Amino acid sequence: MGSAPSDSGVPFAAFKILVAGGFGAGKTTLVGAISEVRPLHTEESLTRASVGTDDLTGVGNKTTTTVAMDFGRLTMGTHLVLYLFGTPGQERFWFMWDELSYGALGAVVLADTRRLVDCFPSVDYFEKRGLPFIVAINCFDGAPTYDPEDVRIALDLDPRVPAVLCDARQRDSVKQILITLVEHVLASRIKDQAETENEAESPFQAAPLPEPAPDPAVSQA
Ligand SMILES: Nc1nc2c(ncn2[C@@H]2O[C@H](COP(=O)(O)OP(=O)(O)OP(=O)(O)O)[C@@H](O)[C@H]2O)c(=O)[nH]1
Ligand SMILES: [Mg+2]
């Protein structure tokens, strides 16, 4: 996704953002809370057939699960549109992540402190691909509250990766998460660009090796 001139001449930009995280972390809820269009959901009922496959520990009253993706849209100001793609949380659907993440600007990893370990695969996935992401800790009713810094340490996050508290049901909270992500992406890009320029200008770059001095023994022969 990219940008094109709008009527006012200011470039119009559209970006794709992923919403990832473990099973039941609140991805579908987040996309539904913020989307200005009726969100596309692909929910299917959890049935007895999934007993033994879907671990409902901590999310016992969950009745449906996403089997493909969630999709929503949010316009920010007059020139920025975010397209939100919620990933399926369950391991058996992870094969779709590569398709969904193609061309994404960045990602929100939703963490549920009742099942924190479930967001490791998402963190791992975005770290390996170098896609900027933030961790949003979804505050479920009755779940223990932790300092975001403690969650950062538990997840062994890079100190630059923002970790913030949120309520995926609240539009304002979700909006704040998306602003944090966009700011983080911009900061990452500025840093990457500065590093590239520094490398190009560095006086410490490996200078070409001087020609070896002639071997006197050879020249005398
Ligand atoms: N109390 C509380 N409940 C939430 C919050 N976010 C989601 N829920 C509830 O948690 C349940 C699971 O949310 P979903 O949005 O379906 O989770 P998901 O990550 O999309 O789940 P999968 O697609 O199956 O991986 C739903 O019943 C939501 O109403 C939250 O911030 N607070
Ligand atoms: Mg879902």
Exposed, middle or buried by CB within 10 Å (0-12, 13-18, 19+), for 204?
exposed
Ligand 1 pocket test: pick from 23, 28, 29 the residue with the most ligand atoms within 8 Å of its Cβ: 29
Q: Which residues form ligand 1's pocket by a CB distance below 6 Å?
A: 21, 23-29, 62, 65-66, 88-89, 138-141, 167-169
- Using DSSP's 3-state secondary structure scheme, residue 107 falls into strand
Q: Which atom of ligand 1 is nearest to the CA of 88?
A: 23
Ligand 1 pocket test: pick from 28, 110, 166 the residue with the most ligand atoms within 8 Å of its Cβ: 28
Question: What separation in Å is there between the alpha carbon of 130 and the centre of ligand 1?
Answer: 27
At 1 the pLDDT is: 60
With contact defined as beta carbons under 8 Å apart, do 44 and 67 qualify?
yes
Q: Whose CA is nearest to atom 8 of ligand 1?
A: 26
With contact defined as beta carbons under 8 Å apart, do 134 and 161 qualify?
yes
Q: Which atom of ligand 1 is nearest to the CA of 30?
A: 15
- Using DSSP's 3-state secondary structure scheme, residue 215 falls into coil
Per-residue pLDDT of the chain (221 residues; tens, 9 = 90+): 665 555 666 667 899 999 999 989 999 999 999 999 888 888 787 766 565 566 666 666 777 888 778 899 999 888 889 999 999 877 777 788 888 889 999 999 999 999 999 999 999 999 999 999 999 999 998 888 899 999 999 999 999 999 999 999 999 999 999 999 999 999 988 888 888 888 877 665 555 555 666 666 655 54
With contact defined as beta carbons under 8 Å apart, do 34 and 84 qualify?
yes
Question: What separation in Å is there between the alpha carbon of 161 and the centre of ligand 1?
Answer: 23
DSSP state of 100: H
At 221 the pLDDT is: 45
Question: What separation in Å is there between the alpha carbon of 30 and the centre of ligand 1?
Answer: 8
With contact defined as beta carbons under 8 Å apart, do 87 and 96 qualify?
yes
| Bridge pairing between strands 70-76 and 43-45 | unpaired
Question: What separation in Å is there between the alpha carbon of 67 and the centre of ligand 2?
Answer: 8
Among residues 66, 77, 85, 63, which one has the least CA distance to residue 1?
A: 85
Question: What separation in Å is there between the alpha carbon of 33 and the centre of ligand 2?
Answer: 13
Calpha distance 118→49 (Å, rounded): 22
Q: Which atom of ligand 1 is nearest to the CA of 166?
A: 31
Considering the entire predicted model, what is its pTM?
A: 0.81
- Could you tell me which residues are beta bridge partners of residue 65? 44
Q: Which ligand is nearest to the CA of 64?
A: 1
Calpha distance 158→3 (Å, rounded): 30
Can you read off the two tokens belonging to residue 130?
A: 């170098």
At 5 the pLDDT is: 58
With contact defined as beta carbons under 8 Å apart, do 169 and 140 qualify?
no
